[in-house]
Structure 1
């Protein structure tokens, strides 16, 4: 059975999708991938594995709201044209809902497809309405967190619970091409005890209280490092003014960012409660931290307290409380080996290859 995997953007933006492709390849499945503009690292990775893959011509960065609409329509034309040409007896595996929404839904409904849902959408949004329309038509619906699966089953009146595959990235060898500037910054940090935040820098994942906590601890050996897309260009300087031992590394595409992850001592995973998607967050970063045995400081979201918190791999704190953050950091530092051992145990508790294999069994492959 051939699988055609479709994802609108480059795979560096969606580690769970890259993960699925690589494990399907490991399991001997014939996989052909259509994707947006990949990093050179990922294109090289797919080429080395001899995975046939193609880049969508219409994938480009939007400049404004109007440009987003133009991009959507241009991409939609390209993928709908492609749909007519795809092998009819192949199963389509769609990497995320945004990709599915650009496709011809009537044509999609007439063939077998797997729909991978990476987010939990607010009700009555355009995404929620589309998913309600298509969820029952998919051969299999995949999501990345058990509470999300239960909500989706109830909301979309699904006969079966969506299959849960956590966002644990593929454990491949790290081969990086980090810039000289970043390497220079890293070399200056090696003697520090690094507290790391990785991911997009947005208001729903506030970092101010972290630097305030570090300022309160007042130990110059503690360094706060963060990396990821940050649209507010003044924000890194603002954080550095609060706590001088702060370093922003910019955006480093996955999985190359793991070169930084392995150097840290504590990893941050913090989310507010502004959306259900945040409340039942499913961050791949908890597996990236735990891969290297790094303890974590996380917010109190149930999907964090029930995973890394329950394993003893993290201190789960109120990220609005500077004192709690400071106490959490100090507690981890004082009992580091215990947290590190628990992080390793958590990482090895999830067998991704087995989970993907179970998906194939459900599809009778």
Structure 2
């Protein structure tokens, strides 16, 4: 784990103009994270100077009226709560936006103390934002934060309007069904089950595409696949990746619940697939059960029981799915603009 060296803070003057959560804020970067070893090498004088700077920067924000401080770092939340009288005197609002679940058993002793201070003063957090419901309830139980002070904001995006296709997959005949995995995957996740399903598929009309940076262990596994309909593409720039999605019919999420962050995962890749009208196939992780909530969004399986192989075979014999239904559902229920509007209203009410 890392030790906070300085601090990144977003803040916004809520009295100046209507709040636009996505762009109308000021970002101040006062420093970055250092490893514990690097932190320990810093002199006492340097550390004192550093924390005086952090303190003065936070004070300068709080001295202005109607300020909102937004941070994704629980260490910063702890630091601000330890000086919570500033928030009370100057009526500054504090918002914590969590992206990584805090695992008590994996954090350092210093971070454990910071988490304890959050638990002690959690009533001074005006709003905590989470990408997934289980993470929300886990943090509330962890810190005694009231559920009333939380907001669910998925890692979603806007509906895709891209329909240009890449030449990288021109070898795939028109009318074929394509299963795709986009992004990195570790060898401790369900990569073996995915490759086994590929090896067992004898349908010449079914293709598999794997795109993303690979570790040496994963590279070695993929080299052993003998199915000629398996295509591996190294990491692509996003502009080129957008041309791949229109060619994929089913998107794979291969996460395994190796820790709480994966068990309660809420990957933005999920919403990226859906924005292109691509249903998802994933293991039945706790974090996905409430998200993949109906058949139009995809299927949750038990990858430990080889259900992936059976589903690949079944879908390979069905007609090519129509993207329009899922794209319409995404626009009406999952598009980020819908959630931004709700978040704007919630922040304005603080």
Q: Do both share a fold (TM > 0.5)?
A: yes
Q: Please name the residue that 2:288 is paired with.
A: 304
Q: Retained in 2: the 8 A contact 1:261–1:288?
A: no
1:146 aligns with 2:133: yes
1:260 maps onto 2:234 in alignment: no
1:354, distance to aligned residue in structure 2 (A): 4.0
Given the alignment, which residue of 147, 157, 162 partners 1:169? 157
| In 1: Cα distance, 2:48 partner to 2:277 partner | 42
Structure 1 residues 187 and 133 mapped into 2: Cα distance closer, same or farther (>3 Å)? farther
Using the size of structure 2 for normalisation, the TM-score is 0.71
Match runs of 1:194-343 below 5 Å: 194-230=178-214, 232-244=215-227, 245-252=229-236, 257-322=241-306, 324-333=307-316, 334=318, 336-337=320-321, 341-342=325-326
Q: Does the Cα contact within 8 Å between 1:313 and 1:339 map onto a contact in 2? A: no
How far does the alpha carbon of each residue in 1:208-228 deviate from its partner, in whole angstroms, 9 at most, with x for none? 211211211123443332334
Alpha-carbon shift at residue 236 of structure 1 (Å): 2.3
Q: Which runs of 5+ in 2 are unaligned?
A: 1-6, 11-17, 88-92
Deviation by residue 1:314-340 (Cα, 9 ceiling, x = unmatched): 122122233x21221233341543687
Pairwise CA distance, 1:193? 3.4
Match of 2:144 among 157, 160, 174: 157
Conserved? CA contact 1:295–1:343, under 8 Å: no
Report SS of the residue matched to 2:208: strand
SS of structure 2 residue aligned to 1:163: strand
Q: Shift of the alpha carbon at 1:5?
A: 7.6
Structure-1 residue corresponding to 2:25: 31
Does the 8 Å contact 2:77/2:118 carry over to 1? no
How far the C-alpha of 1:188 sits from its partner, in A, is 4.2
Q: Shift of the alpha carbon at 1:164?
A: 0.8
Structure whose alpha-carbon radius of gyration is higher: 2
- State the 1:155 CA deviation: 2.3
Determine the C-alpha separation between the residues in 1 that align with 2:36 and 2:289.
37
Q: What secondary structure is seen at the aligned counterpart in 2 of 1:320?
A: helix
Corresponding residue of 2:15: none
Q: How big is each residue's C-alpha offset from its partner over 1:308-365, in whole Å with a ceiling of 9 and x where there is no partner?
A: 252432122122233x212212333415436873464256313533433333333326
Per-residue CA deviations over 1:26-73 (Å, capped at 9, x if unaligned) read: 77x7312346xxxxxxxxxxxxxxxxxxxx7758xx9x99579889x9
1:173–1:92 Cα change, 3 Å:
farther
Give the C-alpha shift of residue 165 in structure 1. Answer: 0.7
1:154 Cα shift?
2.1
Count of aligned residue pairs for this structure pair? 314
Number of the residue aligned with 2:4: none
The answer to whether the 8 Å contact 1:224/1:246 transfers is yes
TM-score by length of 1: 0.68
Structure 1 residues 155 and 240, CA, compared in 2 at 3 Å: closer, same or farther?
same
Deviation at 1:303, TM superposition (A): 3.4
Contact persistence 2:78–2:115 (CA under 8 A): no
Match in the other structure for 1:115: 96
The RMSD of aligned alpha carbons is 4.3
